Amino acid sequence: MEKKIIATTSLAGCFGCHMSILDIDERILDLIELVEFNKSPVDDIKTFTKPVDIGIVEGGCCNSENVEVLRSFRKNCKILISLGECAIMGGLPALRNGIPIEECLREAYLEGPTVGLNTTKILPNDDELPMLLDKVYPCHEVVKVDYYLPGCPPRADLIWDALVALITGNELALPYEVVKFD
Amino acid sequence: MKDRIFKIISKYNGDSSRLMDILHDIQDTEGYIAGDIMGLLADLLSLSAAQVEETVSFYHFYSDKPRAKVNIYLNDSVTANMFGRAEVLKAFEDACGISEGEVSEDGQLGLFSTSCIGMNDQEPAALINDKVFTRLTPYRVSQIIADLKSGKSLDEITVESCGDGKNALPEVNATVYNNIRRKGALLNNDYPFYSVVRDMLPNISSEEIIDIVSESNIRGRGGAGFPTGLKWKFGSKARGERRFIICNADEGEPGTFKDRVLLTEYPEMVFEGMAVAGYAVGADLGLLYLRYEYKYLLNYLNGILDNMRKNNYLGTNVAGIEDFNFDIRIQLGAGAYICGEESALIESLEGKRGEPRDKPPFPVEKGYLNLPTIVNNVETLATVVKIVKNGADWFNKLGNKDSVGTKVLSISGDCRFPGIYEVEWGMTISEVLAMCGATEVQAIQVGGPSGALIGKKDFGRELSYSDLPTGGSMIVFNNSRNLLREVVLNFTNFFIEESCGSCSTCRNMPYVLREKLLKILNGRGVKQDVEDILQWAKVLNVSRCGLGQTAANPIVSSIRNFRHLYDALVQKEVDYDSGFDLESSVLESCKVVGRQPIFHHH
């Protein structure tokens, strides 16, 4: 069987979902038999070098760069997966949703208890910086997403089972214990 | 200040269930209900501070911040917008020098928006310090504000343009018009007020009254249509040391205003109906829950009650009937559509947030103060009086087989003669439209936003409980109207605004559906969005009350009956569009930090 190509990225996330990918432990050796990684922090490939079968996205979109990366994933990946709470619902970063952006920036850079060093009282405005979005968006509110793997982070077994199911074309077993959340 | 609060609380004997009245009085004397007053109230009424605050914050017309000396609440209903609200708002803004939602710097004028105030046949309308001003035009607005600034009182301003009928009485003095266009069995002025209480009750048993009402087959006129006789029978048999009659005059369904007219022209019959119900089920207290928007009727209605007490139609041994003691109190609401739902209304009567209760138990078993309570609509109670007077057979001859009697309709929108029409059940929509002088009709909203938006193919259907039920609201839209943007969006906004927030379905889903609707209206919708709306709206069915269950009706019924409007808006060439727009979503942050947005188009 030809190896499937995989790409991964972390947008407005904490890399916890990527840690959970690594948590498949020694099965990563089996995985390497099945897939080849393209653009991903796992192998540090920065740009897409070939068409990808499965794109895995951690984190939602909080700035313009997130949007551009996500769009490039949608463009280059046949299947796109939202991995974890932040990609699916916005997660912790989305706590700022509902608070005016001006208030967020003022708290973070001008008035918060830890901003003593910002003596020039400047809000980050360099053209090189990504632009903040009006709110944090889950991935599917920006591009079409094919599958969702929930969790914070999703369990390693769930990631493994889902990838194996996708690669082998078999149906993913979803017993009650996997889909219950309380 | 403390002394004034003590005085108010002692007026209500420190009864925490009278919190609504206490808050109204405080707002009247202090201007608003400040945080420290809430703390004081909590102490004095043995409530927690949170209980007081949650009640204050729930209702539209209570304020925890200083309001202006003159507060203008401009109605934001569909018909107000159809008949020039935007120009009237602009005129208010220009004349007052403030924007909507603001209070002027000198604290003299405040301008706010409010949900339907029951004046749909005379829009645009506004409440100015509880006084109703109807048929506003930019010119009239400039005159009103100029008069106010020159020191005229609101009473002086209204008296210049008083409405018809009893609206012109000094104790009402409202610029409100009854617009009664058609009278029938209920409204035809052939009934000598109080004759049932005076002449019949002393000679008839409570069981016989319930039998007459049951045999008449009358069903509730508020919209739900529960058989009134059955409700009374349940109430009379429910256990409890006291029983109550509640008249639901929280007429909040946009487009409904018939109860306002009934309470203006026929309050005697409404109160008499409450007394008859009290006699039938063995209640000793009646409570009329009057929506805040009709506060201008309060003194007038209290005057009628005083008159009834003088004549012994209320009080002890009413009409000389031994041990039949019955009195009526009017409870003023404070601006919340949801309080039209009977269990929410009861919560509100007890001084709490108007959140619907879980059912069962129903109010007939555990209602006001957890005692057996009958809740009836204004029109139902007035009609019952005539039924008792004329007999069940008389009533059964009216209407059709499925729905007997007459219905008072509130017709508004694009028609020559908006107003009140009493018709027999069974009238078709075509007949209704011809009757009110509507032409070039695109659609009619039957039963208010929680009802159905129907088009030409359904104009042959009949008004009846089994075909097209209605609490009375009928809003006509002609071909010039943009149904989705002007009507469906407005109604959806209304449900989002008026949700009590208790059920997550009703708190969230209407908002999600509105996002979908806006996406479609903005040209970013795809076919799947329309399907999503139909599928997702189903979760609202698990909501606790009727508001939640019907909150998607404007969108869903417009999709069912006007699918072509959606098909014309959704994109044909793409099957997916998230609706996300990078350019507009970074505008705000770039402005805050002071940089120009730069986009790299790949």
State the CATH number of the domain containing residue B464.
3.10.20.600
In a domain, B63, yes or no: no
Residue B304 has pLDDT above 60, yes or no: yes
Lowest mean pLDDT segment, chosen from A94-103, A109-118, A132-141: A109-118
Query: Using a CB-CB distance cutoff of 8 angstroms, which residues of chain B are in contact with residue A133?
Result: 582, 585-586, 589
User: B68: which residues sit within 8 A by CB, 6+ positions away?
Assistant: B103, B104, B107, B108, B109, B110
Task: Work out the average pLDDT over A130-144.
Answer: 96
- The mean pLDDT of B255-278, rounded to a whole number, is 97
The closest CB to that of A131, out of B579, B589, B594, belongs to: B589
Q: Does A46 touch chain B (CB under 8 A)?
A: no
Residue range A29-69, pLDDT digits in tens: 988 888 999 999 989 999 999 999 999 999 999 999 999 99
Mean pLDDT of A93-110: 94
Q: Which residue of A has its CA nearest to B597?
A: A131
Report pLDDT for A117: 75
**Of B38, B58, B78, which closes a domain?**
B58
For residues B577-590, give the mean pLDDT: 94
Are B31 and B171 part of one and the same domain? no
B531 pLDDT higher than 80 = yes
Task: Place B602 in a pLDDT band, splitting at 50, 70 and 90.
Answer: low
B34 backbone φψ class: left, alpha, beta (φ>0; ψ -120 to 50)? beta
Do B351 and B270 have their domain in common? yes
Which of B508, B574, B576, B580 should be substituted to probe chain A, the one whose Cβ sees the most A Cβ atoms within 10 Å?
B580
Q: Which helix (H) or strand (E) holds A102?
A: helix A101-106
In a domain, B98, yes or no: yes
Q: Break chain A into its structural domains and give their ranges.
A: 4-95+134-179
Query: Residues of chain B with pLDDT > 70: what percent?
Result: 100
Q: Which of B142, B177, B212 is the last residue of a domain?
A: B177
User: Are B122 and B23 within one domain?
Assistant: no
- In this prediction, residue B395 carries a pLDDT of 96
Shared domain for B165 and B311, answered yes or no, is no
Q: Is the pLDDT of residue B401 over 90?
A: no
**B219 and B337 together in one domain:** yes
Within 8 A of A109 by CB-CB distance, chain B residues are none
Could you tell me if B515 and B427 lie in one domain? no
As a whole number, the mean pLDDT across chain B is: 94
pLDDT of residue B206 exceeding 90, the answer is yes
Please check whether residues B449 and B553 belong to one and the same domain: no
Query: For residue B81, is it within any domain?
Result: yes
Q: What is the nearest CA distance from B550 to chain A, expressed in angstroms? A: 27
> Cis omega (within 30 of 0) on the bond before B372?
no
Assess whether B253 and B370 both reside in one domain. yes
Any A CB within 8 A of B589 CB: yes
Mutate to test the interface with B, among A64, A65, A110, A118 (most CBs of B within 10 A): A64
Same structural domain, B474 and B490: no
- What residue in B sits closest to A123 (Cα-Cα)? B593
Helical ranges in B12-122 per DSSP H: 19-30, 35-45, 49-58, 78-82, 85-96
CB within 8 A of B115, min separation 6: which ones?
A: B60, B75, B76, B77, B252, B254, B335, B337, B494, B497, B498
Query: pLDDT confidence of A182, banded at 50, 70, 90?
Result: low
Number of domains into which chain B is organized: 5
Task: Say whether both B112 and B6 belong to one domain.
Answer: no
One domain, residues B430 and B535? no
Residues B255 and B114 placed together within one structural domain of the fold = no
Q: Tell me how far apart the alpha carbons of residues B470 and B22 are, in angstroms, rounded to a whole number.
A: 35
Q: Do A125 and B595 touch (CB under 8 A)?
A: yes
Quote the pLDDT of residue A181: 64
pLDDT of residue A173: 84
Would you state the structure tokens that stand for residue B256, as one six-digit string? 């409904």
Reported confidence tier of residue A17, pLDDT bands at 50, 70, 90: very high
Task: State which residues form the domain around B496.
Answer: 484-569
Q: In chain B, what residues touch A144 (CB-CB under 8 Å)? A: 576, 578
Across the interface, whether the CB atoms of A68 and B600 are under 8 A apart is answered yes
Contacts of B588 in chain A (CB under 8 A): 101-102, 134
Does B579 map to a domain?
no
CB under 8 Å to A129, separation ≥6 — which residues?
none
Is B264's pLDDT higher than 80? yes
Determine the 3-state secondary structure of A128 from DSSP. coil
**Smallest CA–CA separation between B500 and chain A, in Å?**
20
Does any CB of chain B come closer than 8 Å to the CB of residue A103? no
Say what angle helices B267-281 and B378-390 make with each other, to 10 degrees: 70
Q: Which residues of B touch A143 (CB under 8 A)?
A: 578, 580
Query: In B95-171, where do the E strands start and end?
Result: 102-103, 109-114, 126-128, 131-133
Inter-chain contacts counted by CB atoms under 8 A, chains A and B: 59
Of the residues B154, B177, B200, the one at which a domain ends: B177
Taking the domain A4-95+134-179, which CATH number applies?
A: 3.40.50.700
Chain A residues with CB under 8 Å of B578 CB are: 140-144
Q: Where does residue B113 fall: left (phi above 0), alpha (psi -120 to 50 degrees), or beta otherwise?
A: beta
* Mean pLDDT score, B504-513: 96
- Please give the pLDDT value at position B56: 96
Residue B591 within a domain: no
